[in-house]
Chain A
């Protein structure tokens, strides 16, 4: 009887996944970093609190400081969740497809829902465990005063919801994709769309067609769009704005009010889980195909049909069907790779550029009141461009490794430096294409700002975009050379870029009260997001900030360019070594005398 019950309620997939995750080296590293990070944070926080009132100050003066520290901690935890969850969860189903084991799982007595939920729990539970590690720090901050139990409950509840919601999104993307890397890219796009698009579209509708929606509808849609984002809901709950923002019942019991306000998040979790269930079986048997490729194929069909109907089949760019001459790798990258040919690049440009161009034209016609929309718009476009470039650049070597073609190329006389340089040709073409929409946004904004700021804004914004993306490309190539799998290379690169973007914020968090305004100004030049904000500020002719901003932006451009040159040099210099073959000069290889006897720890293979 007990055995029957145990069989009935056993969760084999969950148990296997948890065991596998627990044994991974990367998870050990993650846990160690997390614990060290928390200890360091508590130490720095204590240090900051001690310095708050000077040495002579009584401990009473530090009372209430827990509130600021708590807000910073919760913010960091949200960032951690938004970085870690996609990386850890995107492979949940896609990896089974890569190993051809999903079909075998579907043949067992586990139903699709059981597979989905066990996979979901296998990713949610470790993240919740990490979150629980932060509870002692919550208690410590509570002892410093300034926060209530209600605030702790609200933040903890919303952090849990963020984990549940993100995991549901990633599970859906994983079920929809055949490869982990595709699942990761798709989940980033879905997240971007899900969190940003509704609010962006609403504000756009409000700007362009004011009066189209009634005040009530606008307010309702706005509320729903913001309430689906846990960090936004957290900041509203933290400032006690929930009741003011929307007329919710249970005004006397804020906890219940928060639970009610989080209904859109719960609904979104259920929707994504149901979508994952629907798509799981449909995509289980289908051979994995690049979704971008499929999208362009469909688009191709439509364009060809229009061309035939309206133009009689005019061909503007004829694809050259030539053979390689002296640079075969560059030929393959630019003529034979999926997103390397002129035809596809042109189509990509049309898909990206046309809607942006139209949108920009409308916004320009509306005048300078739309300049803040352009700021978010340019961030969005740079993020999309970076995502495309990182995916392509990291795959230059890792894709060859995964397709088992790298060894064959490495035994040819083409040296490592040439292999990298020729491979980067395809990325360069793609870079030009994805830069065009970004530059369209920049130029459009330039047209609506005051003429005195136009030159500085255009120069700095263009230089910022070009140097930052160029750095992203070479960083991706460098990491791609070191990593064996594409997904690891993409996640590592995106993590580094993500930390770089929020570095100023993290630095401020680490030295909460320790930085002077001058130090802060210097620290700003580390973070691209801060520098982009400064460039945006130039558009408003903020004279007080102009001197500081110009020097900071110039500093940023110089160090980014230098870092790019350094990474590029390192890539080309170590190309042979990192790709795993003996370098041509072989200066780095010094033959060591062989040992005749083995130490105790060493064992012959299979012995």
Chain B
């Protein structure tokens, strides 16, 4: 599979401050790569390098779509769509004028512009707002307009820096759905965020970055397995008493138990006892089960385990 992004040993310095310290990763075509890390970890700096907006850096390899970012910046710009962590919209234009402005900047044929703009507005669900002043749009709409702008020239790689930051829940869900649609269209996406739950639903692979260093990368399953993360099963047992709790605690593979108001949270060691087996063993121990719900593996746990919480 061809790699759309190839980074090897990237260093970015701001004076004496090291923002990115030897990051390396590859993003194959069609993949959604989630870039996770706390504020100031080096996510935006890495994305800026790929967007040709960072002049001072060193890297052994730095390619986008096979083009060297340092030597073929012009070609790189034609195949990327960059959305910064701020809106980057002109408030005094209408949505139509704004998109035409960038269509002209990307040198799209005049004859094709109307059709393309109509398509991207439809995709971002902004068709009704085509003649609205950008100033009058809500934050979520502005963000969707910025996404529409990014899609105008049909880039191979989308660089999205915190696309959901500062949005309300509805707007956040709308953006997530939009990104899913783009993923299904086969776009390669590099997305940075610190809203882990959303990335876990969207990304095919992730990279966790802290203090300029990539602490881990791979698919979610790989990472969970690598970390030997425990899984949690929530169960409601009608005949739960001290004795029953003691018996459940003795089941092999059970790490710990936590008695909550209406349920029992059973923490399992990853890879030791499959969930189906736990259910069987609970029944064998005489538990009358009213509810049995395994909790999805969460990225927050992975993130907390992998990072040390170093902040400014």
Tell me the A residues contacting B by CB distance below 8 Å.
323-329, 331-332, 336-338, 403-405, 407-415, 577, 580-584, 586, 589, 591-596, 598, 601-607
State whether A414 and B105 are in contact (beta carbons under 8 Å apart), knowing that A581-B52, A602-B16 are contacts in the complex.
Answer: yes
Q: How many A-B residue pairs have CB under 8 A?
A: 138
Q: Is the CB of B100 within 8 A of A323?
A: yes
Q: State whether A591 and B59 are in contact (beta carbons under 8 Å apart), knowing that A323-B97, A582-B52, A605-B212 are contacts in the complex.
A: yes
Complex Cα spacing A111 to B200, Å: 52
Complex: A327 Cα to B9 Cα, angstroms: 38
Instruction: Check if B53 is an interface residue, CB within 8 A of chain A.
Output: yes
Residues of B within 8 A of A (CB): 9, 11, 13, 16-19, 21-22, 40-42, 48, 51-55, 58-60, 69-74, 77-78, 80, 82, 84, 86-93, 96-97, 100-102, 104-107, 110, 149, 211-213, 310-312
Q: For residue B48, which residues in chain A have a CB less than 8 angstroms away from its CB?
A: 407
Interface of A is mostly: loop
> In the complex, what's the smallest C-beta–C-beta distance from A593 to chain B, in angstroms?
7
B88 and A404 contact, CB distance less than 8 A: yes
| Alpha-carbon gap, A594 to B20, bound state (A) | 12
A417 to B89, CA, bound (A): 22
Query: Shortest Cβ distance from A185 into chain B, in angstroms?
Result: 20
Residue of A nearest to B72 (CB): A586
Q: In the complex, what distance in Å separates the CA atom of A324 from the CA atom of B59?
A: 38
- Asked if residues B104 and A324 are in contact (CB atoms below 8 Å), the reply is yes
Q: Beyond A405-B89, A584-B73, A603-B17, list 5 extra A-B contacts (CB 8 Å).
A: A331-B104, A412-B105, A582-B53, A592-B58, A594-B58
Instruction: Say how far B299's CB is from chain A's closest CB, in angstroms.
Output: 21
Provide 19 A-B residue pairs closer than 8 Å at the C-beta atoms, listed in order of the A residue. Answer: A323-B96, A328-B100, A332-B93, A336-B92, A407-B51, A407-B84, A407-B88, A410-B53, A411-B53, A412-B105, A581-B73, A594-B58, A598-B18, A604-B211, A604-B213, A605-B19, A605-B42, A605-B211, A606-B40
- Closest Cβ of chain B: how far from A598's Cβ, in Å? 7
B11 touches A594 (CB 8 A): yes
A581-B53 contact given A594-B60, A605-B42, A606-B311, CB 8 Å threshold:
yes
Given known A582-B52, A605-B19, contact A405–B90 (CB-CB < 8 A): yes
**A residues less than 8 Å from B52 (CB atoms):** 410-411, 581-582
Q: Is the CB of B107 within 8 A of A603?
A: no
The answer to whether B77 touches A412 (Cβ under 8 A) is yes
B84 touches A327 (CB 8 A): no
Q: Are A413 and B107 in contact (CB under 8 A)?
A: yes
**Bound Cα distance from A74 to B255, whole angstroms:** 84
CB-contact partner of A326 in B70, B77, B104, under 8 A? B104
Specify the chain B residue showing the minimal Cβ separation from A405.
Answer: B88
Chief secondary structure at chain B's binding surface: loop
Q: Determine the residue in chain A with the shortest Cβ distance to B86.
A: A404
A404 to B89, CA, bound (A): 8
Separation of A306 and B306 alpha carbons in the complex (Å): 72
Bound-complex Cα distance A431 to B72 (A): 37
Nearest-CB residue, chain B, relative to A412:
B105
Q: Are A331 and B101 in contact (CB under 8 A)?
A: yes
Look across to chain A and name the residue whose beta carbon is closest to the beta carbon of B73: A582
Are A606 and B60 CB-contacts (below 8 A) given A404-B86, A409-B105, A586-B71? Answer: no
Q: Is there contact, CB below 8 Å, between A601 and B101? A: no
- Given known contacts A411-B53, A581-B55, A606 and B105 CB-to-CB distance under 8 angstroms: no
**A577-B107 in contact given A604-B211, A605-B17 (Cβ < 8 Å):** no
Query: Inside 8 A of A606's CB, which chain B residues have their CB?
Result: 40-41, 211, 310-312
Least distance between A370 CB and chain B CB atoms (Å) = 44
Q: Are B18 and A604 in contact (CB under 8 A)?
A: yes
Find A408's partner among B60, B74, B88, B97 (CB 8 Å cutoff): B88
B101 pairs with A582, CB closer than 8 A: no
Point out the residues of chain A lying under 8 angstroms from B86, CB to CB: 404
Give the residue of A327, A403, A405, A601 whose beta carbon is less than 8 angstroms from that of B104.
Answer: A327
Most buried by B among A328, A577, A580, A601: A328
B136 to chain A, nearest CB (A): 15
**A-side contacts of B74, CB under 8 Å:** 413, 415, 584
- In the bound assembly, the distance between CA atoms of A136 and B236 in angstroms comes to 88
Q: Which residues of chain B are within 8 angstroms of A598 by Cβ–Cβ distance? A: 18
* B310 A607 Cβ-Cβ under 8 A: yes
Instruction: Find the B residue at minimum CB distance from A329.
Output: B105
Residues on the A chain within 8 Å of B84, using CB: 404, 407-408
The answer to whether A593 touches B58, judged by C-beta atoms less than 8 angstroms apart, is yes
Contact: B87 with A605, CB < 8 Å? Answer: no
B77 near A413: Cβ-Cβ < 8 Å: yes
Quick check: A607 and B88 within 8 Å, CB to CB? Answer: no
Contact A604 B21 (CB under 8 A): yes
Residues of B within 8 A of A409 (CB): 105
Q: How far is it, in angstroms, between the C-alpha of A336 and the C-alpha of B86 when the chains are bound?
A: 22
A407 to chain B, nearest CB (A): 5
Q: Which residues on A sit within 8 Å (CB–CB) of B13?
A: 602
What is the minimal beta-carbon distance from A188 to any residue of chain B, in angstroms?
Answer: 26
Determine the chain B residues whose CB is within 8 A of the CB of A607 once the complex forms: 211, 310
A591-B70 CB under 8 A given contacts A323-B97, A331-B101, A408-B88: yes
User: Do B16 and A601 touch across chains, with their CB atoms under 8 A apart?
Assistant: yes
Q: Which residue of A lies closest to B78 (CB)?
A: A413
Cα–Cα, bound, A593→B57 (Å): 10
CA distance A591 to B56 in the complex (A): 9
Give 10 closest A-B pairs by Cβ, nearest first: A408-B88, A328-B104, A412-B105, A582-B73, A324-B104, A594-B58, A323-B100, A411-B82, A584-B74, A404-B86
Residue of A with least CB distance to B15: A602
A323 to B97, CA, bound (A): 6
Contacts of A586 in B (CB 8 A): 70-73
Q: How far is the CB of A49 from chain B (nearest CB, A)?
A: 46
Task: Find the B residue at minimum CB distance from A321.
Answer: B97
Q: Quote the shortest CB–CB distance from B224 to chain A (angstroms).
A: 26
* Residue among A408, A410, A603 with most chain B CB within 10 A: A408
Task: List chain A residues, Cβ under 8 A from B72.
Answer: 586
Please give me the residue from chain A that is nearest to B97 by CB atom: A323
| A593→B48 CA distance, assembly (Å) | 20
Are the C-beta atoms of B58 and A602 separated by less than 8 Å?
no
In the bound complex, do residue B311 and residue A408 qualify as a contact, i.e. CB atoms below 8 Å apart?
A: no
Which residue of A411, A415, A604 contacts B80 across the interface (Cβ within 8 Å)? A411
The CA of A30 and the CA of B110, in the complex, are separated in Å by 53
A324-B152 Cα distance, complex, nearest whole Å:
15
- Nearest CB in chain A: distance from B20 CB, A: 8
Whether A326 contacts B107 by the Cβ 8 Å rule is yes
B51 touches A411 (CB 8 A): yes
Alpha-carbon gap, A326 to B211, bound state (A): 43
How far apart are B115's CB and chain A's nearest CB, in angstroms?
14
Q: Whole-angstrom distance between the alpha carbons of A595 and B16 in the complex? A: 13
Query: Which residue of B9, B55, B96, B102 is within 8 Å of A589 (Cβ)?
Result: B55
